[in-house]
Chains A and B, each alone.
Chain A
């Protein structure tokens, strides 16, 4: 199997979120970056498992600057065979999807994996865009994936349930919790990752149609109103009269 895993880099979940003076850029000073959890824990690990059981090759692809290569090396340490970095600032989902499509078109992957969303911009957009650029079927929020011949069997999370389905390969899949279990890279993985091939490619020109105006922080909570644990009637009254949610 020829598998591609698209990995993104996001601020660590505990990172303090702040912006530059004119509120148009994320302030990354002092912020620790990690591989997007859905990409790492589920998409990448499941791709590696499939390769281990069915044979083949796992390539990881990242669109980002050279500074992000530590994240790529981590993916190689977890078990990917080789990596490609497209050298660009990953400005918008459409830009990213276009770059992935330009690369993937030439390579004939059986499955292209993504995470269900990035935890910074929470877009959940790239997968669907990529599938359309490549005119491939797309299974989003997949919590289970098995492959037999050229058919993949998947579970997909929908509102209030799970849909089990079959799809012809090639396809694009976005991974959610359940597809695999997180893997911690071992020492051997970390050593071999250093010598695995990492190819750098230039980005293709693409004009995005969305323009960031400004970031704002949500209005601060007024502060918690504490209620006497013996007086739940008071809580109910407040929820009804003040908060108007009952």
Chain B
């Protein structure tokens, strides 16, 4: 059986949960077993996971799960995996998944590959899992040799697919131990899709010259429904907030479309964005290294090109 832990921060699923269930269902089909989804904490609509292919949806709504504590969660998920005899456990490679995966691997004495970017190959019953390493500069394939194995799935690696139908969630009894972490406050950026989940990212660098010039970037992002990002020097000089910093020392992202404006494309920047599906680079210097990593390039002055691109997209959106 494949057990998928579907995260529901503050009672809501995010796209990563649907991706994880879709992935779990496909893997379960390939192995000829069933796919069961597990949710922890009070939830709006757990049965929704049936639509993404889970054949059962299990929930334990103990209030201990209202806030994330990896120690508390890992015990509960490991308990569920043991009760159900899961052979594979799927997690999302999110802040939650990263804090859980290692704990679960130790608890379940399981093999672990974190950050898988596609479905495993199955070779005489063993799972061969590929992930990106060296900050996107190479891929590594591992064979999982555990009696139980855990895979955490990179965001945007699979598309959520609705192949099933809504289910009635079942309650599962689980070990719950009090945790040692107390959450004091949660500061969220309202209104925008967080960078790690964004499908389109519009990012700008030092070529913008001044923080007062960011209006054109924000307008383009708004037209596209994109999230904004920036290069490190831009965040370091407080032109933009730190959470926008992408790259090796910032956040690594893999959107479907990454538009880089006035960013030179230093290797440390590329390390965080080179897993994007499509990269568009706008830079006035034809020698900028970013063009080597780009799918589409525009050599020109960003102050002219970006407003024009914005108009063109508006025109396209109005027509479609």
Contacts and interface: CB of A to CB of B under 8 A. Distances in A.
The answer to whether A and B come from one shared complex is yes
Size band of the interface chain B makes with A = 35 or more
B132 interface: yes
B55 interface: no
- If over half of A's interface residues share one DSSP class (helix, strand or loop), that class is named, otherwise mixed; here it is mixed
A218 B141 CA distance: 12
A30 B149 CA distance: 36
Contact of B297 (A128, A167, A227, A232): A227
Which of B94, B193, B313 has the largest number of chain A CB atoms within 10 A? B313
Contacts of A162: 186-187, 243
A134 B132 CA distance: 29
Contacts, number: 265
Interface residues on A, range: 35 or more
Nearest to A211: B143
Given A137-B180, A165-B183, A167-B181, A213 B143 contact: yes
B245 to A, nearest CB: 7
A11 B137 CA distance: 12
A37 B249 contact: yes
Nearest to A37: B249
A110 interface: no
Interface in B261-310: 267-268, 271, 277-278, 280-281, 291-301, 304-305, 308-309
Nearest to B121: A213
B164 to A, nearest CB: 26
A10 to B, nearest CB: 9
Interface of B: 9, 14, 68-71, 74, 94-96, 98-107, 109-115, 128, 132-146, 149, 179-189, 192-197, 200, 242-243, 245, 248-250, 252, 256-257, 267-268, 271, 277-278, 280-281, 291-301, 304-305, 308-309, 311-313, 315-316
Interface of A: 11, 13-14, 17, 19, 37-38, 93-94, 97, 119-133, 135-141, 153, 156-168, 171, 177-178, 209-218, 221-222, 224-227, 229-230, 232-233, 235-236, 238-240, 243, 245-246
20 contacts: A37-B249, A38-B249, A94-B105, A125-B105, A125-B114, A128-B103, A129-B105, A136-B71, A141-B98, A158-B9, A161-B186, A162-B187, A210-B111, A210-B143, A213-B141, A214-B141, A224-B281, A226-B297, A233-B312, A245-B257
